[in-house]
Amino acid sequence: MGQVAIYCRVSTNDQSCERQERDLRAFAKRAGHKIVAVFKETASGADTVRPERTKILALARAHEIDAILVTELSRWGRSTQDLVQTLDDLHGWKVSVLAQTGLSFDLSTSSGKLMRTIMAGLAEFERDLIRDRVKSGLAAARARGVKLGRQLGQRPSDNKAKKVLTLHEEGLSYRLIGRNVGLSKNTVMDIVKRAAALST
């Protein structure tokens, strides 16, 4: 029993938080919790901007709640790594995350600590998988002859390169060329140097 905040999240605007809120209010009532605030937002699972979740974390930091109620952990965490990080933060503030599905993350209990260890291992595994995918993707791209990194024509200044080189051939200083085409002196120098390197 304690003071709790309800957190509801849906992924798209055509979805509603009503069912989540209704179920969590009933869940809180059965457990004898006092609801101090309800937060609802629309954000995809990987979305890093979640203003309502940030407000709940502020309540937790201020010790105004004892737990956060969610329908399932995927509603709260953006990724396994994010889940572990926020659980650690909440544990430091003595706040638990209680999922209606039955999973509770109270890191003061042995089962909570075990779950945190498992989640941390999964987060590390997740990071390794992403790292391996990036490496293999880059290797496959190189094998296909794809040039990696920013290529000529991809810099914002490259569309002015022809004009810069023409003015340079006419003997204008880097500073004057920059004024004429609207680039800095250093950018003009870079364009001239790149052109010289390509011609050698």
Q: Provide the annotated active-site residues.
A: 11
Check: CB of residue 10 under 8 Å from CB of residue 17: yes
Kindly give, in sequence order, each residue whose CB lies less than 8 Å from that of residue 7, ignoring residues fewer than 6 positions away: 39, 52, 53, 56, 68, 69, 70, 75, 76
Place of tokens 């930091």: 61
Tokens coding 127: 């990071």
Burial class (CB in 10 A: 0-12, 13-18, 19+), 158: middle
